[in-house]
Chain A
Amino acid sequence: MKRFLLNWFILCLILMVSISAIAFDFSTVEESITEFTLDNGLKFIVLERHEAPVASFVTWANIGSADDPKGYTGLAHMFEHMAFKGTTTLGTKDIDEELELIAIEDSIFMELRAERNKGIEADSSRIAELEEAYERAREASYQLVVPNAFGNAVEREGGENLNAFTSFDQTAYFFSLPSNKVELWMALESERFLNPVLREMYKERDVVAEERRMRIESQPFGRLLEEFIGLAFKAHPYGVTGIGHMSDIQYYSRKEAEAYFEKYYSPANLTVAVVGDVNPKRVKKLAKEYWGRIPYRPAPERIATVEPEQLGERRVILEDPSQPIYLVGWHVPEITHPDRPALDALIDYLGQGRTSLLYKNLVKEKKIAVQIGAFAGYPGDKYPTLMSIYAIPSAGHSNQECETEIFAEVKKLKEELISTEEMEKIKARAKANFINGLVSNIGMGMQLCAYQQYWGDWRELFDELDRINAVTPEDIQRVAKKYLTKKNRTVAMMETIES
């Protein structure tokens, strides 16, 4: 190890040299990965890691809230909830009887919904009658439910981090187990994508409605974000929050969720990652046995709607009892576009960390913001998306002051080339981030699935650094000029009013 030098910038320069000189050999990680695809089109990626006798499992559906049909926003997320309700073999006291009762519940529900949707012509006494009948039917079918049997089956055997998420681009299900229980995961997880039973659907809608109240309606940032994307996207479904509109949540039926499953959860639309202390040969054997049961269905099409070019700046101001928040976003391309590495480098330099342009100016020097950051990939990454900046103004300071400084820094990016020294730092950070991203089993599983989804090949994960390393200061200036324009931006602000 070199002796530490007094002058920090000399030090940095020397370190820069060593960065390019010492390269971590990623091939050892890459070589521990095997892959196979079942006849039904389902892809498996297996990363062997034997440090501890545990394994993590990720089921990654190439389908997210952006795929929600119109009028049924939030359905991808709703289905994610329903995937925890068990199967024909798990979660029931008597499946045949239960299915009969569920069918009765559904038909009353559909009748009730139709009556309610007659609007002014709806018959209120009929509605009351149906509501009562529906409640009885729901209670009857509930009698046959073994609640949360899926979760219990996982937890009883030592499952950890059992959860799922729905984003705009994908729905992911994951948990970890002691590594000798690979077969348990195979059995449980394959079953829920083979024979799911969407029991307790209508109560679960209420749960989702509470989730919406919690995350969006009772949260200032949630309220602002919903307006922000709604304004930025007028054609593409990235403009609707994943949890969906409240009225849609309270509308859809089990039948629609079921049809959704049929269409989008085809095995060819799924990727599975297994990371941990496993034997790939055994994983393959069990996968064939369990997951091979799912019949082939064609994968759904991509969304054809393309967000049209924005013709002028868009702005929304929310008057709210909460403190100010500032958001600005510019339309940028999807993750596989050749401009994205340069944009990612730009984002790092502009708005990530204490040495970023924005933090130095707005937080350290002017003290007009307490938090500021830039990011891309929200709402999604599969389709053209946004690069955004958020600012939390300091007490007594305004959104406008922050905006002025943000735009001044953005302008600099267009006018001045960033130094090669700064360029090297961006690359050093990318490398460190990349290596830290390899630590967790679940995290690694998700990354492999994401690259498989976006790029069609998980190996692209290991090329990520090469793409960043190829970026030049000229590239950054070029993408700044190309995308960070006035007419391409959308601004959303939360302004405080007395309640």
Chain B
Amino acid sequence: MGSPATLLLLLTLLTAVAGRPATAEPLAADVSSHLIAITTGFTGSDVVLFGSTDGPGDVVVLVRGPEGRATVRRKDRVAGFWINVQSVVFDRVPAFFAIAANRDVTMFTSPALRLREQLGTQFLRFDTRTVVPPRTAEVFREALLRNKQAEGLYAEQPSAVRFLGERLFRANIRFPANVPTGTYTVDVLLVRDGDVVAAQATPLVISKIGVGAEISDVAHRYAAIYGLVAVVAAAMAGWLAGIIFRRA
């Protein structure tokens, strides 16, 4: 017992389990709800994130929606009409992105860290599907960010994280009415001396609930049956109306 090899193995195991070698629980956080239900009258929702740190430091919260493909199209005036003339397809575009911190992120992080951890909408990495000249890709990337921000789906909230005393913090995450459904991740980072010393990821599910959700689900999963039901329902309604309004 107590040979250096065993000790090393134990240490490695511990490190693997803990993720980051540090003192006990440098960061703990959770959200008030892990499921956001979009019902018929959904007008957006707030989720409260709360947590604690083991000492001073800055907290950054990143919320990311499911990634997917997005096509950005450019309109131009052709013979007096505005029509789509050019398009660029991006892959791995998060449907939703929000960043919140206890103060301006640029005050406590280096540009290199911001780039690495994607701290901010301008640092989001998504690739063009086909080879596009860099200048064009940049213009379309900016347009994608601008459109997403205008829709409220990409948001930066510099001071949304509030510290209550030295160790406890809370943050309000706002999800707008048009929030896309899917599995989200909420990443909480603890930054100390310009480096990330602890991180925690929490899943969050946004899904449609109720009649609307079922209609949409059936429409995509059993498209033929859905179409048939839609046709028969309309025909029945018309036939019924014919009987009701028939002159005796």
Is A bound to B?
A: no
Chain A residues at the B interface, C-beta cutoff of 8 Å = none
Chain B residues at the A interface, C-beta cutoff of 8 Å = none
